[in-house]
Amino acid sequence: MIYMLDTANLDAIRRAVDLYPLAGVTTNPTIIAKENRTLREILLDIREIIGETRMLHAQVLGTTAEIMLKEARALCQFDPHIIIKVPVTPQGIKAMKLMKADGMRITATAILTPQQALMAAMAGAEFLAPYVNRLDNICSGGCSVVADITQLIATYQLSAKVLAASFKNVQQVHEVAKAGAQSVTIAPDVFDQLLNHPLTDSGVAGFVMDWNGVYGEGKTILDVL
């Protein structure tokens, strides 16, 4: 599983880079706007935290392929390692073909159907980002859409990877993992929930209590080995 964090919040990114096997950070215009700083500052700061090897995804906003391509070129000039997110509109699909010809890395986003995903993969997208919770909100089975996309990728032997997005709970993440999604991007609050279990916490507390009772408070393996 390739884990990414869906945020532009620097504290959350720092924390996740420190704790988790994080492969990258994804943003979208809403996520960027929440920070209320310039895009330049935000992208620079995120890159500084995640380093060159982790992925950084940033989305274009234009409504025509030509403008999207110009935006993508500007983003790539600013950060040569950036991955360009493009919505799966007809103009977006055209833009993906042009960006692919330019050698850019592309994430197709705002995917709500398997056919949008298939078209984006054929247009050159490396990642396909279906919106799981937004589909669940309208009773359209977000996880089964992801399962259909992973099946299409296998059937057509495509190199594109699912980057499942828009999660509101751990069950959704679990379902897309079972469906074979190659990657997920998760907001910080849900990401932390992936590890949460009261029995894990009480289990660890019990180990510490039993240990301290014999070897003394605060003693580690290093003190007694």
Q: Which residues are catalytic?
A: 85
Compute the least distance from the CB of residue 156 to ligand G3P, in Å. 24
Can you read off the two tokens belonging to residue 38?
């310039």
Task: Please give the residues from 11 up to 70 whose contact with ligand G3P meets the rule CB under 6 A.
Answer: 26, 28
CB 152 within 8 A of CB 162: no
Question: HSE-up of 213 (CA within 13 Å, CB side)?
Answer: 6
Query: Tell me, what amino acid is at 222?
Result: L
Rounded to 5 degrees, what angle do the CA atoms 161, 162, 167 make?
150
Per CB under 6 A, the list member of 4, 76, 185, 191 interacting with ligand G3P is 185
CB 128 within 8 A of CB 149: yes
Query: Tell me, what amino acid is at 109?
Result: T
**Nearer residue to ligand G3P within complex by CB, 6 or 148:** 6
Separation of alpha carbons 25 and 67, rounded Å = 24
Task: Please give the residues from 101 up to 130 whose contact with ligand G3P meets the rule CB under 6 A.
Answer: 129
Separation of alpha carbons 96 and 123, rounded Å = 6
**Nearer residue to ligand G3P within complex by CB, 91 or 133:** 133
**Nearer residue to ligand G3P within complex by CB, 39 or 211:** 39
Per CB under 6 A, the list member of 89, 113, 133, 144 interacting with ligand G3P is 133
Interface stretch with ligand G3P, choices 42-50, 62-70, 131-139, 199-207 (CB under 6 A)? 131-139
Compute the least distance from the CB of residue 58 to ligand G3P, in Å. 11
What is the helix (H) or strand (E) element at residue 155, kind and residue range?
A: helix 142-155
Task: Please give the residues from 144 up to 173 whose contact with ligand G3P meets the rule CB under 6 A.
Answer: 165-166
By CB under 6 A, the count of residues binding ligand G3P is 10
Residue nearest to ligand G3P (CB): 166
Nearest residue to 66 via CA among 28, 98, 107: 98
Interface contacts to ligand G3P, rule CB under 6 A: 6, 26, 28, 129, 131, 133-134, 165-166, 185
